[in-house]
Amino acid sequence: MANADCIVIQGSNMAECHPVGYQWVTEAKARGARVIHVDPRFTRTSAVADKHVPIRAGSDIVLLGALINHVLTHDLWFEEYVRAYTNAATLVNEDYRDAEDLDGLFSGFDPETGQYDMSTWAYAENEDGAGGHDGKVDAPAGDPDDGAEAGAEAVEEAAGQQLGSGGAPMEHARMLHDETLQDPRTVFQILKRHYARYTPEMVQEVCGIAPEDFAYLVRSITENSGRERTTCFAYAVGWTQHSLGAQYIRTASILQLLLGNMGRPGGGIMALRGHASIQGSTDIPTLFNLLPGYLPMPVAGTHDTFEDYLAAIASKKQKGYWAEADAYTTSLLKAWWGDAATADNDWAYDYLPRLTGAHGTFQTLTSMLDDEVEGYFLLGQNPAVGSSNGRMQRMAMSHLKWLVVRDLNLIESATWWKDGPEIASGELRTEDIETEVFFLPAATHVEKSGTFTQTQRLLQWRHQAVAPPGECRSELQFFFELGQRIRERLADSADERDRPLLDLTWDYPVDAHGEPDPEAVLAEINGRHLTGPDAGRPLSSYTEMRADGSTSGGCWIYTGVYADGVNRAAARTPGQEQAAAAPDWGWAWPANRRILYNRASADPEGRPWSERKKYVWWDEEQDRWVGDDVPDFPLHLAPGTRPDPDAGGAAALAGDDPFIMQADGKGWLYAPKGVLDGPLPTHYEPQESPVANALYAQQRNPSRVLFARQDNLTAPSAGEPGADVYPYVFTTYRLTEHHTAGGMSRWLPYLSELQPEMFCEVSPELAAECGLEPYGWATIVSPRSAIEVRVLVTERMTPLVVRGHTVHQIGLPYHWGVGGNAVVSGDSANDLLGLTLEPNVQIQDSKVGSCHIRPGRRPRGPELLDLVAEYQQRAGATVETGNTRIDVPGTDRSADPDTDPTTDPMREH
């Protein structure tokens, strides 16, 4: 980021939530970069940016789409980059229909399941393979009847993120291209058509952004992109936590590809992760549908054999490194089951559990409410405060037989049974709750060693500073011992289902306190040679992994962190004592590479785009790629190389295919597969919105995951009766002074005194409209709950005029919770939120909701429930409200009057 000439921070409050990372923005600014903050609120980030552009929460795709449209129509795209490095020239299936053709739906939508059949989105493909490859065909070719589609089949069952960055398999050799970019079926022309209606006027209409501000933004990013300059985007959960969050980031990716800002210093899109090692927890995942290194979790019925499973990840005939997924998977299975993983049992593939559907945290939640879950572990998580629809979270826990909370303090998720909001409202009585709650004190990050993986994929080793007090233990020790105890219990079992547990390699060396050696775990993750002369030697690179069982490795992308037996994550050479890219500070996956796809920092001939932005280039004399970073490309693959059309994997890469994890080696302006809710991002309104969708009759993302339940009602949106009952938009966020749900900050006096009380932020206009007194009390009501807050009236909040009416936005930090143990407590903003999920990654839409605000404190006891119910009735909110899939023009989108709200909650996901 320090190398950027312009930084756009959107969907993130970087200075407040990532103050340490913000030093690089400060550095860039000191070097002359322009910093722009696009956000519903004027925050501490806005205060140190060159400009703040207020935006209506949930409208970002319109703004980004308009930037794309402007760049395309004014010929401001980086032509040489786009032609060589993106799929702009690739032809798309003839049967593809855009959302612009179908009033908000792409071709292939099934209204019953809410899912798309993606076959029509695929690349057009020449049946006999004669269509050429690697951009050598100059005109669209072939009778469409002879055409097949590249790589769409396997996608339906598997969520997008399960398939790694490369998506489902696809064969590169059969694709068709039009290098003139004129064929209407080229990605380039489809893109142009798709964003043609995303104009500055539309931006003003939908986002509430003035044309001058839009012009400033356009000027800033286009003047700071190209050969000599680069622009960087930074986002956080302000982009992801929407019912179409993945598409927000896709839109930015398209823009950055068009401007040639990917794979270059000071470019890219920085995904700011929420707290320490959240990146690590997706690399070596705590997610239900992923195995380490973004390998998918097998699905029952689809991936029954090892062969089926591997075929679904990658084709041996596709380009790039996903083609070696068999080696990564086999090495993982060898790391987990050692000698029990043999060629005869497909490396113990059948020991892996199988998915039978979505098993995310919110599906588990509803299963808990249905008494289908007996026990629950909470590790560093405080769902009673930190998760959407807090009441549902706490009620669900009351259905458990047992609950284990491992945390630093007695968080609200450990005490809801005695002092939670439902005890106060009378919905739960302590003596009736049968859940047995175990609290196990946990060691903090300074009381144990290990790695953090941060936003730049950098693994940094943390040395233990002090021993944990009393009974506090690290997670590593806890799970190691839990595993040991379970294995002891099962030791004599002859049951087949216990084999995976009994055959696990579970043999870490421990110290005098019983703490397993975390470096031994790191070494296992790195992997080693198992046979031959090198047996026992750590692997140096994932390219050494083999599918024949001769290597092990717990996470292929981390291979190299323990090369030569050295803990590279612990490297600590100060920045001023080493090269600019700082390769000797920590270790970045993969292969200690600091910028991904950095082949794109050189032109197709391998020369730097400019002296100023020189990073990785081809050295003719040495016959290899050289530069400031580890080249993200086969080291000796010369720029002009053309691969054998029958080749697969890395051998199939051309000398100008910088996007080596994509099945065609190109950056995807258009996603022919892998994104469940559309090949191109398009704007839909949030689940709850005060305005109707200006682009389509289709109001909401048709593929979103719904939880249509009585305890999760949705406010009516614009145009629906009752929308005026919850007229204001609220958005939730964090403050620098606290950490998420407060478990690490509200128990600390030094942090608690800095932000002691729950508050909301409103504009002076809204305060006047609702009679709110500065620093007085207010009650905020949503269809889920009502909370009380102190009122900060500030000009930092700006009312926006959107589609002819004024939209007021209310800001709500979500750090406080109701309980008796913390230094400070208060009502939780997450109690107001409903549950609707994004279909690709199953993230909740917690950045925007509808509410009402009124002066004064909220009622106590059962009267609180009465207040919430009274609003629901006035709004006519039922389980149907907002939960229809398709909004056809001319039809009444209001709830069915015959629906009885008292019937059993219906579920749909």
Partner 1 sequence: MGQLAGPTDPTADAHWEHSHARKGFFTDTSICIGCKACEVACKEWNQNPQDGELELLESSYDNTGALGASTWRHVAFVEQDSERIEEARESGRKLVSLGMPRVGPPEARPQPAAEDTTPPDTPEFRWLMSSDVCKHCTHAGCLDVCPTGALFRTEHGTVVVQDDVCNGCGTCVAGCPFGVIERRTDGTAAPRTERDGQPGKPEVKNVGVAQKCTLCYDRMVDDQTPACAQTCPTTSIKYGEHEDMVETARHRVAEMHAQGRTEARLYGANELDGVGGTGSVFLLLDEPEVYGLPPDPRVPTADLPRMYQRAGLAAAGMLAAAALAFAGGRS
Chain contacts with partner 1 (rule: CB under 8 A): 15-16, 19-20, 22-23, 26, 29-32, 42, 44-48, 50-52, 408-410, 439, 441, 469-472, 735-737, 747-757, 759, 774-775, 790, 792, 794-796, 821-824
Considering beta carbons, is residue 377 or 777 the nearer one to partner 1?
Answer: 777
DSSP 423: H
The answer to whether the bond into 298 is cis (omega within 30° of 0) is no
Minimum CB separation of residue 241 from partner 1 in Å reads 23
Minimum CB separation of residue 225 from partner 1 in Å reads 17
Considering beta carbons, is residue 288 or 777 the nearer one to partner 1?
Answer: 777
Minimum CB separation of residue 214 from partner 1 in Å reads 15
Long-range contacts, stretch 633-638, CB < 8 angstroms, 24+ apart: 633/598, 633/599, 633/658, 633/660, 638/606
Minimum CB separation of residue 441 from partner 1 in Å reads 6
Minimum CB separation of residue 67 from partner 1 in Å reads 21
Strand duo 109-110 + 115-116: pairing = antiparallel
Minimum CB separation of residue 847 from partner 1 in Å reads 21
Query: What are the backbone dihedrals phi and psi of residue 438, each rounded to the nearest 5 degrees, phi first?
Result: -110, 130
Strand duo 34-38 + 6-10: pairing = parallel
Scanning the structure block, which residue is given the tokens 């409208």? 59
Minimum CB separation of residue 348 from partner 1 in Å reads 40
Question: What gap in Å lies between CA 890 and CA 486, rounded to an integer?
Answer: 60
Considering beta carbons, is residue 46 or 318 the nearer one to partner 1?
Answer: 46
Considering beta carbons, is residue 748 or 786 the nearer one to partner 1?
Answer: 748
Considering beta carbons, is residue 494 or 750 the nearer one to partner 1?
Answer: 750
Close Cβ partners of 692 (under 8 Å, ≥ 6 residues apart): 685, 699, 717, 718, 719, 803
Question: What gap in Å lies between CA 518 and CA 539, rounded to an integer?
Answer: 18
List Cα–Cα distances, 229 to 1, 3, 220, 601, in angstroms. Answer: 12, 9, 11, 11
- Helix axis angle for 325-337 and 306-313, nearest 10°, is 130
List Cα–Cα distances, 305 to 161, 167, 327, 349, 470, in angstroms. Answer: 21, 20, 16, 8, 48
Classified as helix, coil or strand, 123 is strand
Question: What gap in Å lies between CA 759 and CA 804, rounded to an integer?
Answer: 29
Minimum CB separation of residue 15 from partner 1 in Å reads 4
List Cα–Cα distances, 685 to 61, 244, 438, 729, in angstroms. Answer: 10, 9, 42, 12
CB 582 within 8 A of CB 574: no
Instruction: Tell which residue, 650, 666, 659, has the closest CA to residue 319.
Output: 650
Considering beta carbons, is residue 111 or 820 the nearer one to partner 1?
Answer: 820
Rg (CA), the chain: 27
Minimum CB separation of residue 776 from partner 1 in Å reads 10
Minimum CB separation of residue 517 from partner 1 in Å reads 25
Considering beta carbons, is residue 52 or 546 the nearer one to partner 1?
Answer: 52
The total number of residues written for the chain in this structure: 909
Considering beta carbons, is residue 42 or 306 the nearer one to partner 1?
Answer: 42
Instruction: Tell which residue, 396, 679, 332, has the closest CA to residue 527.
Output: 332
Minimum CB separation of residue 209 from partner 1 in Å reads 14
Considering beta carbons, is residue 369 or 443 the nearer one to partner 1?
Answer: 443
Question: What gap in Å lies between CA 178 and CA 185, rounded to an integer?
Answer: 9
Minimum CB separation of residue 824 from partner 1 in Å reads 6
List Cα–Cα distances, 823 to 469, 752, 755, 820, 831, in angstroms. Answer: 20, 7, 11, 9, 21
Helix, strand, coil % in the chain, rounded to nearest 5: 30, 15, 55
Minimum CB separation of residue 578 from partner 1 in Å reads 20
Question: What gap in Å lies between CA 390 and CA 393, rounded to an integer?
Answer: 5
Considering beta carbons, is residue 273 or 319 the nearer one to partner 1?
Answer: 273
Question: What gap in Å lies between CA 783 and CA 850, rounded to an integer?
Answer: 8
Paired tokens of 85: 């490095």
CB 893 within 8 A of CB 714: no
Considering beta carbons, is residue 436 or 773 the nearer one to partner 1?
Answer: 773
Minimum CB separation of residue 733 from partner 1 in Å reads 13
Considering beta carbons, is residue 119 or 413 the nearer one to partner 1?
Answer: 413
Considering beta carbons, is residue 212 or 495 the nearer one to partner 1?
Answer: 212
Q: Which residues lie across from 453 on neighbouring strands?
A: 459
Considering beta carbons, is residue 47 or 801 the nearer one to partner 1?
Answer: 47
CB 67 within 8 A of CB 822: no
Minimum CB separation of residue 735 from partner 1 in Å reads 8
Minimum CB separation of residue 164 from partner 1 in Å reads 34
Considering beta carbons, is residue 426 or 774 the nearer one to partner 1?
Answer: 774
Minimum CB separation of residue 236 from partner 1 in Å reads 15
Considering beta carbons, is residue 48 or 141 the nearer one to partner 1?
Answer: 48
Minimum CB separation of residue 26 from partner 1 in Å reads 4
Count CA atoms within 13 Å of residue 55 on its CB side. Answer: 30
Considering beta carbons, is residue 299 or 824 the nearer one to partner 1?
Answer: 824
Classified as helix, coil or strand, 310 is helix
Considering beta carbons, is residue 303 or 796 the nearer one to partner 1?
Answer: 796
Q: Residue 389 — left, alpha, or beta (φ > 0 → left; ψ -120 to 50 → alpha)?
A: left
CB 165 within 8 A of CB 674: no
Instruction: Tell which residue, 42, 37, 40, has the closest CA to residue 55.
Output: 40
Paired tokens of 837: 């999920």
